[in-house]
Structure 1
């Protein structure tokens, strides 16, 4: 049976990249039924462009920037309440899809129907895996433990990013929506771990996208520049929350790692150490009392 798919793209002031992303989605070998673009209150050039596309997209403009977390919350809610599609396929506005990205996800969905989410193989512009989107497999991998770049067989995942992720409608009905209060960082990890408690999620290496970040680096408070340092408050607050949702041993391991990073920062030789340490401590402290609401959407397919 043919399954229908809504694509959700969340954007904020990256018009030229957004244009490329939209064109790549429109060029899929298997077309999407709905292309939902969530605009986090971008400048008017983005607004004007998206309005010019008319009925070829479902344009959802937010009144304020709610971060990636709020954007995906609204986009997935729209999918649930305004469409009857079977799957939602989510991505950022710098995720350029390959012509068969969706076809490969749907092919695996046919082969393995018992899943909560399917994640594409996310590559940087040079073809190497994107360091911001490294897959985390359930079974430890040989060598350094990371999934090999030449992996060709699907793997069950612990979690995944919102960079080319396909989720079942019935899973969303059970687990709710991404948490808007996360704002940025960790909303995708928390959400896919929530989904994986219901049914397994899988890495689908045949499905590839190009993540057009400015550089292929992971996130590190120790090494990041001054303009990005304040953002790490959300990283540590949100990590504290989602680590606490895990079972005992993974929770213990996650908490030890968080507090180890605190002690590493205390003794590190890094620029602006006092500023970075203050952000880290503030995030961990906020995480102890962070109890965000999990929202649920009506399932339009049941109406």
Structure 2
């Protein structure tokens, strides 16, 4: 089995982060490196992470560049500062199980032609996490409507426990920092799929410790969170336009359905929500972010 770096991105969620780190430190087989990217959190997080010393690789950013920028920095660190074979990526509310990694590595040992491997993501009650639904490639089967028992090809993955081999990072580059939040994981895994197949490995289970097992939805989210939906629709339109015809049409239908629900529904600040959505869609049509590539690690003498 190859060597693994785990990358976890955090921002001001210290109690959750402590639990996530403890879970990663107990995983079998042991990690080669545990890389924690801190999006310029408050001092309590900084002091805690510094206190861990060489138990982790601490990457503290000078500003909050969102989850997308954090994953960009973490995967870059893996590629440039380690010689590990795989990078295992997750949010700070991902709680891995002691045996979450072993099935991913077992699959990787037997199947070299893959671009990413996703875990089966569960909510705290053991039910499927609705924010991390994966679709079996070329079907209508998803992790919400079907219990998979064997590895299956999927259309994309999320940054809640997904493993990439080193060669994929070198070939496709890094997550797009300009996304800031949302859809960065879908775009990145779909970019990887253009190189090799991606799989769900259902024997690898993790817990996504969200506040509630619900989707992000502009029609019913609290007013304080509405502005960030600009990123969702901008990034979704950009990603959707890179897909094949069938999946692009399906993505367009999803956006139209969201718009119709918003237009006909009753909710606070409806005009503001419609504006955020329209602005995001319009921006997505013009969005052309830079895809960065890591530097190659120098060969040892």
SS in 1 for 2:214: coil
Task: Quote the residue 2:220 is aligned against.
Answer: 223
Deviation at 1:152, TM superposition (A): 1.0
Deviation at 1:263, TM superposition (A): 3.5
Deviation at 1:288, TM superposition (A): 1.4
Task: Quote the residue 1:239 is aligned against.
Answer: 236
Matched-pair contact (CA < 8 Å) for 1:141–1:147: no
SS in 1 for 2:29: coil
SS in 2 for 1:77: helix
Separation in structure 2 between the aligned mates of residue 49 and residue 37 of structure 1, nearest angstrom: 12
Task: Quote the residue 2:85 is aligned against.
Answer: 86
Task: Quote the residue 1:61 is aligned against.
Answer: 60
Task: Quote the residue 1:6 is aligned against.
Answer: 5
Task: Quote the residue 1:72 is aligned against.
Answer: 71
Separation in structure 1 between the aligned mates of residue 252 and residue 146 of structure 2, nearest angstrom: 29
Gaps of 5+ in 2: none
Q: Any residues of structure 2 matched to 1:189-208 within 5 Å, and which? A: 189-208=186-205
User: Normalization by structure 1: what TM-score?
Assistant: 0.95
Separation in structure 1 between the aligned mates of residue 33 and residue 128 of structure 2, nearest angstrom: 28
Task: Quote the residue 1:182 is aligned against.
Answer: 179
Separation in structure 2 between the aligned mates of residue 283 and residue 127 of structure 1, nearest angstrom: 34
Task: Quote the residue 2:43 is aligned against.
Answer: 44
Task: Quote the residue 2:103 is aligned against.
Answer: 104
SS in 1 for 2:212: coil
Please give the root-mean-square deviation of Cα atoms over the aligned residues, in Å.
Answer: 1.4
Matched-pair contact (CA < 8 Å) for 1:36–1:57: yes
Deviation at 1:165, TM superposition (A): 0.4
**Which of the residues 275, 278, 281 maps onto 1:278?**
275
User: Normalization by structure 2: what TM-score?
Assistant: 0.96
Deviation at 1:226, TM superposition (A): 1.0
Gaps of 5+ in 1: none
Matched-pair contact (CA < 8 Å) for 2:158–2:186: yes
Q: Any residues of structure 2 matched to 1:119-198 within 5 Å, and which? A: 119-141=118-140, 146-148=143-145, 150-198=147-195
Separation in structure 2 between the aligned mates of residue 261 and residue 216 of structure 1, nearest angstrom: 19
